[in-house]
Amino acid sequence: MICYFLQLLLLCVLQVQSNLDKTYDVPIPDINIRSNGFDVSINDEDGISLVYFYGKIMNASENEIVVMKSYEKTENTWILRSNYNNLKEGDIIYYWLYIKKNGVGYRLTPQYYKVSEPDCLTRLPAEELKENNHYQTDDYLCEITCAYEIQKIKHTLSKIKQKMNFLNKMLSDLSLPIEAAVQSFNLSYINNYAIY
């Protein structure tokens, strides 16, 4: 009996492990500035059917929202092109990506890019942004930091909710085999036959 229960438990653990392996980490995209806009690109992987970009360009005078999506790849790359061509040195792009892979949606945590030169864009880690702008009082920089913190909290809560939903589903899936195992322990046996 104990051997049967251990086999059942091992089977359940393997099922949980196989479901945990079905995750996908959204890659940080390449962002390239062009004279008439900018490109956002990621390498293709099997199963990707949608790439969605939401960006907010922050500078001292204005905030511009850029939204792009693509259902088709170019060779082995997903490229999103924007015609926004007012990027200047010091502008910051706050963005996130949503990728649909094998029918499941995945989101990249909010990221920042800072335009360091008119034709060059470099990634600015959130930690560096927070430290660099901690003592500055420019409104748009404060807005970036606050918006990032709010998005980070929302993303964390979303991940926790997804994990809770996953665990609830796994518990409901596991309850049937465990219930069957418990019932089999409660049966009376006569000559290797169970009496119901």
| Amino acid 29: pLDDT | 93
pLDDT of residue 107: 92
Helix/strand/coil for 171 = helix
Rounded to whole angstroms, the Cα distance separating 92 from 64 reads: 11
pLDDT on residue 33: 81
Q: Kindly list the averaged pLDDT for each block of 10 residues, start to end, along the chain of length 196.
A: 61 54 81 84 92 89 88 90 85 92 91 69 43 41 63 80 83 74 62 60
Q: In one letter, which amino acid is 39?
A: D
Cα–Cα distance, 58 to 84 (Å, whole number): 13
What pLDDT is attached to residue 190?
60
Could you give the C-alpha distances from 113 to 38, 96, 101, 131, in angstroms and in order?
12, 11, 25, 15
Q: What per-residue confidence (pLDDT) applies to 136?
A: 39
Q: Which of 91, 74, 71, 70 is nearest to 82 (CA)?
A: 70
Of 3.30.70.141, 3.40.50.970, 2.60.40.2140, 3.40.50.740, the CATH number of 30-125 is: 2.60.40.2140
Given a contact cutoff of 8 angstroms between Cβ atoms, the answer to whether 70 and 80 are in contact is yes
Q: What is the pLDDT of residue 78?
A: 93
Look at residue 135 in the predicted model and tell me its pLDDT. Answer: 35
Tokens of 6: 């251990």
Q: What is the pLDDT of residue 40?
A: 93
66 with 82: CB under 8 angstroms? Answer: yes
User: Percent helix, strand and coil across the chain, each rounded to 5?
Assistant: 35, 35, 30
Query: pTM (2 decimals)?
Result: 0.51
pLDDT of residue 188: 61
pLDDT of residue 22: 58
Q: Where do the domains of the chain lie?
A: 30-125
Q: Looking at residue 151, what is its pLDDT?
A: 73
Kindly list the distances between the CA atom of residue 90 and the CA atoms of 114, 119, 129, 136, 169, in Å, as whole numbers in the listed order.
6, 12, 12, 14, 47
